[in-house]
Structure 1
Amino acid sequence: MAKQWRELSKGQRTAIGGLTGAQLALLGAALIDLQRRPAAEIKGSKRAWRAAVFVNFAGPLAYFAFGRKR
């Protein structure tokens, strides 16, 4: 059975908080980049990438690695 938040150690809670912060930062950066970048500079549709970046860690990382034309 999964532990409840109060049952986690301080280190575990810190790690979860750090990973959550990193995920939200990646999500925000990807969404801002999608908003500002012209469609001609994106591989595929902006709508599809906008949906994909909501997939934990993998979506924003995939967008930055494969979704932008260089």
Structure 2
Amino acid sequence: MARTRWQDLSPRRRCVIIVGGALEGALKVAALADLARRPAAEVRGSKVWWAVAIALINSVGAVPIAYFVYGRQPRS
């Protein structure tokens, strides 16, 4: 099976890939910024491990969303 090249994709598929990548990047930046500002007492688990997971796992947004939903504790 031949590999599909970027030039072979339809303009709509290219747009979907670009928008998806931008959204994932924005989620990662938002999650990392929140994690950096939030005190360790307000994070479930290790801040270092959350940062590594958010930054390195290619997750289609799943890890940043998991951080926002499960990783943060309510502010007191």
Same fold per superposition (TM over 0.5):
yes
Corresponding residue for 1:23? 24
Unmatched runs of 5 consecutive residues or more in structure 1: none
The match for 1:61 among 57, 65, 68 is: 65
Instruction: Give the number of equivalent residue pairs.
Output: 70
Q: How far apart in 2 are the matches of 1:32 and 1:4?
A: 34
Provide structure 2 residue ranges, at least 5 long, that are not aligned to the other structure: none
Percent of paired sites with the same residue: 43
Residue of structure 2 equivalent to 1:9: 10
- 4+ long deviations beyond 4 Å: none
- The two structures have a TM-score, normalised by structure 2, of 0.87
Task: Please give the root-mean-square deviation of Cα atoms over the aligned residues, in Å.
Answer: 0.9
Q: TM-score, normalised by structure 1?
A: 0.94
